[in-house]
């Protein structure tokens, strides 16, 4: 199997390394200088320092050249650049190629999930999948045990990709609920911003548990409204990824939220953060998407208010002072 990994950030680099155990892999990066440095040193010092990329992985700065002979194209670019990069690559991607998204976000403006963008840009490529779950890159690069989910509407596609991504330390499960997996992957970043902010404000473990749990309820409500399976949110793509992202010091979204809670201006934090914190962009898109489906997302709404620079002097009071509700409203299917 020949695999093109499009995107040389930390996650793309790590996944290229994972796939190298089972396939011929090329890693594409936008910056020719970065690609040349990774090829020469076998280390992505900018995005994943300390991790040695397997020698078998070829590094490529030509997007068409990277994708032209691929059997599987794995897209690992941020949500705001996903459509443009895939559109540029499209002429080189054959109709029988499987496309896998690693991106956990929602497109601004269109509110499209990444699999929907793939369907729009590559209508002749029906085999689309997402790889998601509690995937803190530093631990994966260090060879620590990790479990993940590959989701595709076609079980045979998911099974084939399961074999591609699996290694002795990276265990992959399959799922057919692409919608639920993508909603969970996008929304957990937003909730992590809120959990990080709460920690920065000085709130304790009870507050963190409440935000994680009610954040899970928000994820599930929206996922079910969009056609996802509520059970997906009890698995690795849902609660698994949510707990990891909200609890780990390695989580960039939690870290951005924490710095905000400590009093730093959001613009300053973003300027000092080399990696993209997807939750900042996703909060707005998710809020709009939920409003269009009549789904209430109070935590996400507060994160959006902060992202948009609105004055919310008592974030905790706004959340705690809401009308009393039943815990499982909007989660159970009829």
Each residue's pLDDT tens digit, 119-137: 999 999 999 999 999 999 9
Model confidence band, residue 270 (pLDDT cutoffs 50, 70, 90): confident
Q: What percent of the chain has pLDDT over 70?
A: 95
Q: Which of 83, 104, 188, 304 is catalytic?
A: 188
Q: Does the pLDDT value for residue 273 go beyond 90?
A: no
What CATH number does residue 162 fall under?
3.40.50.720
Cβ atoms of 130 and 115 closer than 8 Å = yes
Q: Are residues 199 and 143 in the same domain?
A: no
Alpha-carbon distance values, 227 to 177, 203, 307, 309 (Å):
9, 35, 28, 32
Pick from 160, 176, 192: which residue ends a domain? 176
Q: Are residues 172 and 186 in the same domain?
A: no
- Which SS3 state, helix, strand or coil, does residue 244 take? helix
Cβ atoms of 1 and 69 closer than 8 Å = no
Cβ atoms of 42 and 62 closer than 8 Å = no
- Which SS3 state, helix, strand or coil, does residue 225 take? helix
Tell how far CA 163 is from the center of its chain.
Answer: 21
Q: Is position 188 annotated as part of the catalytic site? A: yes
- The chain-wide mean pLDDT, for the chain, equals 93
Q: Which is higher by pLDDT, 331 or 307?
A: 307
How far apart CA 6 and CA 75 sit, in angstroms, is 5
- Whether residue 328 is contained in a domain is answered as no
Pick from 158, 176, 194: which residue ends a domain? 176
**Into how many domains does the chain fold?**
2
Pick from 146, 176, 206: which residue ends a domain? 176
How far apart CA 68 and CA 285 sit, in angstroms, is 33
Element (H, E) at 155: helix 155-165
What CATH number does residue 229 fall under?
1.10.1040.10
Average pLDDT over residues 296-319: 81
Predicted pLDDT at 265: 87
Q: Does the pLDDT value for residue 317 go beyond 70?
A: no
Q: Are residues 187 and 297 in the same domain?
A: yes
């Amino acid at each position: 199997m020949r695999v093109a990994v499009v995107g040389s950030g930390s996650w793309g680099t790590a996944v290229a390394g994972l796939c190298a155990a089972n396939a011929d892999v090329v890693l594409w990066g936008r910056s020719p200088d970065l690609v040349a440095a990774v090829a020469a040193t076998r280390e992505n010092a900018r995005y994943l320092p300390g991790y040695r990329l397997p020698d078998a992985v070829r590094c490529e700065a030509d997007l068409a050249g990277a994708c032209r002979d691929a059997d599987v194209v794995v897209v690992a670019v941020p949500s705001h650049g996903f459509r443009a990069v895939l559109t540029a690559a499209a002429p080189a991607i054959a109709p029988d190629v499987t496309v896998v998204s690693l991106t956990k976000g929602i497109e601004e403006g269109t509110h499209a999930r990444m699999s929907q963008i793939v369907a729009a840009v590559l209508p002749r490529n029906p085999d689309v999948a997402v790889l998601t779950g509690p995937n803190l890159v530093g631990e994966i690069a260090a060879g620590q045990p990790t479990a993940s989910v590959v989701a595709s509407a076609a079980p045979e596609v998911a099974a084939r990709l399961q074999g591609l991504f699996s290694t002795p330390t990276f265990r992959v499960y399959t799922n057919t609920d692409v919608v639920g997996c993508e909603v969970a992957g996008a929304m957990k970043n937003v909730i992590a911003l809120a959990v990080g902010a709460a920690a920065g404000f000085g709130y304790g473990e009870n507050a963190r548990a409440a935000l994680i749990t009610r954040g899970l309820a928000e994820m599930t409500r929206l996922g079910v409204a969009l056609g996802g399976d509520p059970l997906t949110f009890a698995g690795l793509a849902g609660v698994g990824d949510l707990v990891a992202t909200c609890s780990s010091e390695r989580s960039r979204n939690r870290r951005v939220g924490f710095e905000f809670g400590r009093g730093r201006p959001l613009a300053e934090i973003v300027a000092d953060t080399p990696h993209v914190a997807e939750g900042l962009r996703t909060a707005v898109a998710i809020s709009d998407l939920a409003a269009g489906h009549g789904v209430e997302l109070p935590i996400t709404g507060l994160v959006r208010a902060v992202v948009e620079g609105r004055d919310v002097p008592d974030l905790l009071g706004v959340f705690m002072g809401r009308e009393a509700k039943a815990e499982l409203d909007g989660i159970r299917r009829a």
